[in-house]
Chain A
């Protein structure tokens, strides 16, 4: 490594120089974590477009955006929880409950204002998240166990509540369905909503004390406690926020598909976690951004679409996503090792 040689000689003395080097190094590495996945996405789109030019027409791109939107919102919520070294498996069941509630409410009371429905959906999700968070922090039960439990329990609740019924698009008001199908300035409304959500959560995690504290908890729970961070309250709030976003996802699910029954969103939980992990959010907490997670959601959605376009067998699609997941984790680990080695050498040189 010749980082020494890259630094402009004679600028700011040795202190500023080594500082600038370290900064550049870490900057690049952190950018690389998200750059890598953006590159993979570009490559995937390019290859698919070469083999099937129609992949890039407006309609197909629109579909890509629509598919990824709900996953991006769920992945943003999941990121909040993963960063604290926890996990929320129950999101898909929360989504189903919220989706069915939104559909039922609007079928029975078509005049209900949509913001009210959205708030109710998010409230339902927040309540489920509060239960998860309470069991994890107050009950001291590992999040994996708690949310695996609520994943099944809430799905069961959805079956009980729907009792075999389903909500149909015909019974829903058009202004609601427009959220799922309409556009704002040519961009699908759903994608606009997802973008806004990701930006808000991203800014929260970057620039607000309570957001930074989530990283602190995931990086070292003990150190966070000693730094005066109210870890239980923060972890609980992460679950509440993730639940609320799953609730929002449920309402949007109804708006997009129109048809909702008790099986809505089955299996989404793993896609969402996969999206976050592919996007550079580590399962061990403390590392990752919602932007990465959102791009991860787009990448997973694009893979599925491009494999369909390329007429690849559905079984291979699953295998491809699995391979990508492992590749992402291996890449992340590799970057981490390289970073450790680089930082180590830097420390050694500085000490010398």
Chain B
């Protein structure tokens, strides 16, 4: 379907970009031709996001060339890129929570009526049509506030489709989407492709890359290292190109001796969100909470930790009942919670690595006169940085300078330093590259081996199957399946997750 003879719609030639001393992009070279769906893969920190920002006009090149239709251009801001027909869906949804879905889609390009006034009817109609095309039931007039991440991502996609883009760039658009939503997105991608648009698709899910991309560009350490047809590659070969080395088994959960139940959830209910959820997690065990996006898994975790209040049921940690809705009490009882959204909930992005890592331990670091011991704080942070093999420049750097995987390690350090009995991790490897991913998995496995009880929420089935001793499946706010490791496979989990079967151990 690609016209190899055609001039690339968009191309980068030996692009370079540095942020201070960090060379984020050393050789960005790629071309997107009409009708091409090209994948861009690489570990986190490989420079993919920087490359996307350059193509989207968010940042400017230090050296090299940006070409549109073969002509060298410079984008000074996102508007320039948009005017050139380039639509970008960024990794993190960037929406206006206070404005309606329709207005989020139309912002900056509202349809105008008489006297340059906004034509609200047209705006609403266009938004509704786009949402219908994407096959989602979303009311275009509701505010974006309160939408799930998946729905927000759908709005982002609608926004990008709302002007007839010649090049569509998607930075991990599927990270938050469930199966049917991904399928619909791919349908839209194919339609665009048939119309001669070029698409650049970034994903950590390699099966998606092989499913819709014909060509793949691999980046490592800021440079493009290969540019091939996906048909000529296997997944293993692609992973090897990304990490530059062979990987050990991806999911190294070792079998641990199970101890006493440390976390016990009994008939937990939150009105309108989930109902009658009961399960136990034993010492040394990893229990996965699987299900589709919106099944209520993260919400269960939030109630267990006391962020939201339960309307019924209760939670016990090591046999002691937790008070309802009090995170401090949960922490004191030995509960730790690594949330789904690192940037919003897991970290204080402007604070240093050290400050973030010690945030949960301030009480222990505080001397009798009420001052925080600077040296103790540094030692604690250094200790955990070493134990988790954190890659950093200085502990005083803001945590925002780290790659996603290393940020996740800081969140883990923050919680592990409280010496918890029970660890709840929500999507522990979302947006993390393959190499760091297996490090996180090994870490979780080791922790379970040391007698921690771990509740892991994950949307990635290979992760669930590889890591969990037991899989609890949720569907529409209810537990619809409990599957022991030996019997767990993708089909059984999906059957329970889509509510097609009640599965009991």
Contacts and interface: CB of A to CB of B under 8 A. Distances in A.
Given A227-B78, A340-B145, A345-B272, A352 B476 contact: yes
Interface in B40-58: 56, 58
A287 B137 CA distance: 26
Q: Is the interface of A mostly helix, strand, loop or mixed?
A: helix
A23 interface: yes
B95 A223 contact: yes
A22 B139 contact: yes
Contacts of B271: 345
B255 interface: no
B296 A348 contact: yes
B107 A351 contact: no
Given A23-B139, A212-B107, A219-B99, A347 B146 contact: yes
B146 A343 contact: yes
B137 A350 contact: yes
Nearest to A345: B272
Nearest to A209: B110
Interface of A: 1, 14-15, 18-19, 22-23, 26, 207-209, 212-213, 215-216, 218-220, 222-230, 286-287, 339-340, 343-352
B477 interface: yes
B20 interface: no
B178 to A, nearest CB: 9
Contact of A348 (B96, B112, B145, B477): B477
Contacts of B148: 347, 351
B391 interface: no
B79 interface: yes
A228 B96 contact: no
Interface size class of B (residues with CB under 8 A): 35 or more
Contacts of B235: none
Contact of B108 (A209, A343, A350): A209
A212 B145 contact: no
Q: Most B CB atoms within 10 A — which of A1, A209, A218, A339?
A: A209
29 contacts: A14-B137, A15-B137, A19-B137, A19-B141, A22-B141, A23-B141, A207-B117, A209-B110, A209-B112, A212-B107, A215-B99, A219-B97, A223-B95, A223-B96, A225-B77, A226-B58, A226-B88, A227-B78, A227-B107, A228-B77, A228-B79, A229-B108, A287-B98, A344-B146, A346-B146, A347-B151, A348-B294, A348-B296, A348-B477
B180 to A, nearest CB: 12
Contacts of A219: 96-99
Nearest to B143: A26
Given A209-B108, A339-B145, A347-B151, 8 more contacts: A19-B139, A23-B142, A218-B98, A220-B96, A225-B78, A229-B108, A351-B148, A352-B476
A347 B294 contact: yes
Contacts of A227: 78, 94, 107-108, 159
**Nearest 6 interchain pairs by C-beta:** A343-B146, A351-B294, A345-B272, A228-B79, A286-B98, A219-B96
A212 B294 contact: no
A74 to B, nearest CB: 24
A216 B177 CA distance: 26
A131 B71 CA distance: 40
Nearest to A217: B96
A215 B10 CA distance: 33
B392 interface: no
Contacts of A23: 139, 141-142
Contacts of B98: 215, 218-219, 286-287
Given A220-B97, A223-B94, A229-B107, A207 B118 contact: yes
Interface string B83-123: 00000101000111111000100011010100011101000
A352 B118 contact: no
Contacts of A26: 141-143
B268 to A, nearest CB: 15
B110 A212 contact: yes
B99 A213 contact: no
B273 interface: yes
Contact of B145 (A1, A207, A343): A343
B286 to A, nearest CB: 26
A216 B137 CA distance: 24
Contacts of A218: 98
B252 to A, nearest CB: 33
B147 interface: yes
A340 B144 CA distance: 10
B108 A340 contact: no
B82 interface: yes
A212 B94 contact: no
Contacts of B96: 215-216, 219-220, 223-224, 286
A207 B112 CA distance: 9
B269 to A, nearest CB: 13
